[in-house]
Amino acid sequence: MERIVKQNLLYDFYGELLTEHQRQIYEDAIFNDMSLSEISENYGITRQGVHDIIKRCDRALADYEDKLKLIARFERVRGSVYELSGLIRRLLEHGKESGEDELDSTLEHALGLTEDILAGL
């Protein structure tokens, strides 16, 4: 399961850097759950050729992440925003208990911003 999630993330971030042919074969194998035989028939190449393309795509996507580190950055930012969101929620609950309206409104605004950021990630 973890491998599938990792492949999905890598493809989401770097899939556009693959050639159209590579993308089509990779999508058929990984996302459409087609067998090597089905893909080889559709594209007129051998099963070994399909296997090689999939492995090459996996390597290329992993190499892009090794060099660019966009997924690592994304996960750090997402983790920080989740943590910030939790802190704001705690402060907001404390502010409501103590009746501090201005603090409540500022925290609600900050919480809204973190939710917008998380929705966009």
User: Are 64 and 84 contained in the same domain?
Assistant: no
Q: CB 89: neighbour CB atoms within 10 A?
A: 13
Among 29, 55, 56, CA closest to 40: 29
If you average pLDDT over each of 71-80, 81-90, 94-103, which comes out highest? 71-80
Together in a domain, 64 and 79: no
pLDDT given at position 31: 94
74: pLDDT strictly greater than 70: yes
Q: Which domain holds residue 83?
A: 73-120
Tell me, yes or no, whether 104 and 78 share the same domain: yes
Q: Are 16 and 39 found together in one domain?
A: yes
- Determine the pLDDT at residue 99: 67
The CATH code of the domain that includes 35 is 1.10.10.10
